[in-house]
Structure 1
Amino acid sequence: MTQFIPCALVPVYNHQQVLAQTVVNIRQFGLPIILVDDGSNELCKSVMRELAAADPANVHLIERPINGGKGAALKTGLQSAAELGFSHALQIDADGQHNSADIPRFLQLAEATPGTLIAGMPEYDASVPKGRLYGRYLTHVWVWINTLSLGITDSMCGFRVYPVARSNALIAAEPMGDRMDFDTEFMVRWHWRHWAIKQISTRVIYPEQGVSHFRVWRDNKLISWMHTRLFFGMLWRLPRILINKFRAEVA
């Protein structure tokens, strides 16, 4: 890769209360933005259209007609990033949970290691719902089992930098979930290909007026099925994984 041309990628679903501030926070670093409307309500659509109209050179709006889920929005956004000529896409949530002040740190590491997936490791304060926090630990354990490695510290954080071409190639080659299961499944399948991953500690908050689209029964069911799918995928890859681990230890 000869040129580092990053953008921000923001999936949006009914985040009209805080979206304008999120865009301001991103734009202060001179980063172009792709907003992916994942079938939002009319009020949120109008906010996004106003933001795009106010700065058409730097705010690109992609509208999906129906809600397909965070993963579906990210897949659409990564494809759009490729079509617009961006080399890397910094995923950041629309709801203000992520610390936008850390954007330069993520981009600096991505530019220094352009083929690497850069992912956040959340540092939570007291605002985090305890059920969500404990549920993450169960996913951590399953990820360690499905990769036969402790190398992935956190697979669920939606603050990350994707190498666009490599990410789209992975998505095209392997089926992945379209909702809250996408982040973890993408990272495990990336790891299976022995592509580099670097993780950065970053503060994550749950704003008092924040809007969560995590649906406990639906999304936990999808995540459970995702872990099952990955487990059998790991068993199929097990001989190759063990051979590669042995070669790495010998080297």
Structure 2
Amino acid sequence: MSELRPCALIPVYNHPDTVAGVVERLARHELPIILVDDGSDAGCRRELERLASQGHTLVTHADNRGKGAAVRSGLIEAERLGYTHALQVDADGQHHPADIPAFLDAMYQSPRRLLAGYACYDESVPKARRYGRYATHVWVWINTLSRHIRDSMCGVRLYPVTQVNSLLRRHPCGNRMTFDTEVLVRWYWAGGELANLPVRVHYPEQGVSHFAVWRDNTQISLMHARLFLAMWPRLPGLLRRHWRQP
């Protein structure tokens, strides 16, 4: 990668009150910003159009397809525009902006690595949300025979665009909440380099969550089962990789 051109990628679904603050904080790092409107309602659409009028790129879905579909659309647009890396950040403002420079620094040190954030919660996090994530963590460790992926559900990560898009053409990784986890597992299976970086997370009292408990938990459970079955043909290679790692 002779010239690195990072951008920020923000998937948005009905976060009109927080997305502008996220954009402002990312713009301080001189990052071009790609917003993906995943079928938001009229109020949020107006806010995104206002942000786009300031020079930010806006990709629009006519209806809600899910976070995974929004991230894929953003990555395709990032590659079309010539960006080499995309820093995915959630639109809800939960992530501490001071943690962003570490991702950019690590990108310049190792451009081929996928950089995955791991959540460092303050006292605002609901206990059910915090401990409920461990079921996914354990399944990821089983399906990779490794604890190298520290947190597969954190919404901050930096993707090498061309390599991840190539992976996603073979394995779309789901349209909704399964995407964040599956793309990291598939990346690891493919032999991709990966590093974990801390991200402080705060849950505001009036925060908006689009996690649909029954639908998304069902899809996540099916994803883990599917990955577990797909892991078996890869078992010899994963074992060799496991024993080679320090």
Is TM more than 0.5 here? yes
CA contact (8 A) 2:152 2:184 kept: yes
Amino acid of the structure 1 residue aligned with 2:8: A
- The CA distance in 2 between the partners of 1:244 and 1:130, in whole Å, is 35
- The CA distance in 1 between the partners of 2:172 and 2:46, in whole Å, is 33
Q: 2:70 — aligned with what?
A: 73
Q: Work out whether 1:116 is the aligned partner of 2:113.
A: yes
Counting only pairs closer than 5 Å after superposition, residues 130-149 of structure 1 correspond to structure 2 as: 130-149=127-146
- The CA distance in 2 between the partners of 1:5 and 1:209, in whole Å, is 35
Amino acid of the structure 1 residue aligned with 2:121: Y
Counting only pairs closer than 5 Å after superposition, residues 20-169 of structure 1 correspond to structure 2 as: 20-53=20-53, 55-56=54-55, 59-169=56-166
Q: Which moved more, 1:231-240 or 1:186-195?
A: 231-240
- The CA distance in 1 between the partners of 2:241 and 2:152, in whole Å, is 22
Identity %: 53
- What 5-or-longer segments of structure 1 have no aligned partner? none
Report deviation, 1:242: 2.4
Q: 1:220 — aligned with what?
A: 217
Which among 217, 236, 240 is matched to residue 239 of structure 1? 236
RMSD: 1.3
CA contact (8 A) 2:10 2:36 kept: yes
Query: Helix, strand or coil for the counterpart of 1:195?
Result: coil
- The CA distance in 2 between the partners of 1:11 and 1:245, in whole Å, is 34
Give the ranges of 4+ consecutive aligned residues of structure 1 lying more than 4 Å apart after TM superposition: none
Report deviation, 1:121: 1.1
- The CA distance in 1 between the partners of 2:207 and 2:25, in whole Å, is 17
Query: Helix, strand or coil for the counterpart of 1:66?
Result: coil
CA contact (8 A) 2:8 2:32 kept: yes
Q: 1:194 — aligned with what?
A: 191
Amino acid of the structure 1 residue aligned with 2:36: V
- The CA distance in 1 between the partners of 2:30 and 2:147, in whole Å, is 35
Aligned pairs, number: 246
- The CA distance in 2 between the partners of 1:156 and 1:173, in whole Å, is 21
Alignment deviations for residues 59-113 of structure 1 (CA, whole Å, 9 cap, x no partner)? 1000011101000000000000000110000000111011112111111101211
Report deviation, 1:175: 3.4
Amino acid of the structure 1 residue aligned with 2:80: E
Give the structure-1-normalised TM-score: 0.95
- What 5-or-longer segments of structure 2 have no aligned partner? none
